[in-house]
Amino acid sequence: MRAFAALSLSLLAGAAGASDFDLLPGGSQTDFRSVAKDIVSTLDYKALNPAEAGGLTGFSLGAFATYAPVQDKGAWQRLTGEEVDAIGMVGVSATKGLPFDIDIGAYYSQVPSTDAKLYGGEVRWAVLPGGIATPAVALRASYSKLSGEDDLSFDSKAVDVSISKGFAFLTPYAGAGYVWGKVTPGSGLGLSEEEVNQAKFFAGLRVALGFLQLTPEYSRSGDSNAYSLRLALGF
């Protein structure tokens, strides 16, 4: 519950102002590696949906936020000259059901207190669409990319498999996958690009009250934890 309280506070903090992810020249590659791991773990595509197929009429549109404590505060301090306890993103996302138990999704977001903007998308196929007595199992491929920053760029690709089973208005889900992330520093910083490839795990719960959907999710990528929350209208 503390993590989700912090997530709510991060939404308020994000409106306070914006500045760049400014990196100081002369930083160490080891510190940049630590920062890159936090960036990939936080900004990688988050599922925020069960595995079940939405169907031809399925559609949802909502707002979401992700909050993740950084793993090495000292590395952030040395690279940026600022105290950084956590990073996150706040944005909007949409999903749409297609034939053959395929769903597509997309998001657009901003990293609070920076000028960084992110966008990404997913294609999900429910290998087992699920039913009254059987769970749904889905395969997903996703992509995320950052823009708006001079001192670094980021993109990631990921695949995962997830399972879910609805019970009345509750649908718990869980999944595992792998992320291929890349964080590239700006020119003149004396740093090299870092590739962060790591396993990820996630679990969440969709609460559906009529057309209103509330979905908290926990994910772990590498050694980093992230907490997300999505509020959407869907059918």
Coil/strand/helix, residue 4: helix
Question: Can you point out the beta strands (E) in 99-223?
Answer: 102-110, 117-128, 136-147, 152-164, 170-185, 194-209, 212-221
Beta carbons of 155 and 143 less than 8 angstroms apart: yes
Output the pLDDT for position 13.
42
Coil/strand/helix, residue 8: helix
Beta carbons of 112 and 7 less than 8 angstroms apart: no
| Region 192-208 average pLDDT | 97
**pTM beyond 0.85, yes or no:** yes
User: Distance (Å, rounded) from C-alpha 158 to C-alpha 181?
Assistant: 8
Output the pLDDT for position 132.
84
Domain boundaries, the chain: 2-234
pLDDT-based confidence at residue 231 (cuts at 50, 70, 90): very high
Q: 20-50, pLDDT tens digit by residue?
A: 578 888 899 999 999 999 999 999 999 999 9
Output the pLDDT for position 131.
83
Output the pLDDT for position 150.
85
| CATH class, 2-234 region | mainly beta
